[in-house]
Structure 1
């Protein structure tokens, strides 16, 4: 186990072993391991969401 992912007490360790911990599921290492088409789809959706929020904000200011 990496030093940064070590649990700080037994309760957290038990939680991670039994239920899993999704907080550390998305990091650079897991994204690098994905196939290219899935990465590109993810980048597209993230970009689309960002641009959409920005456009909605700008259009509401102009109205």
Structure 2
């Protein structure tokens, strides 16, 4: 079975070591983020969602 965490070439391996990029997304634990950061993210996502819905409604009314 192929190791999914292994980089597919030396350039990507070097980039991951130098920049500190995670090899896969399963290492990040989003549940451990601070509460203010979570709420800010929810606010931004909600704001974008509401603005998109409002733009669609206003375009249909014109």
Q: Which of the five TM-score ranges fits, normalised by the shorter chain?
A: 0.5 to 0.7
Q: CA RMSD in A?
A: 2.6
Give unpaired runs (5+ residues) of structure 2: none
> Which fold has the larger relative contact order, with Cα–Cα distance below 8 Å and residues 6 or more apart in sequence?
2
Separation in 2, partners of 1:60, 1:5:
46
Partner of 1:19: 19
TM-score w.r.t. structure 1 length?
Answer: 0.67
> What is the aligned residue count?
59
Rg larger for:
2
Q: Is residue 2:48 matched to residue 1:49?
A: yes
Could you say which structure has the higher helix fraction? 1
Query: TM-score scaled to structure 2, two decimals?
Result: 0.67
Unaligned runs of 5+ in 1: none
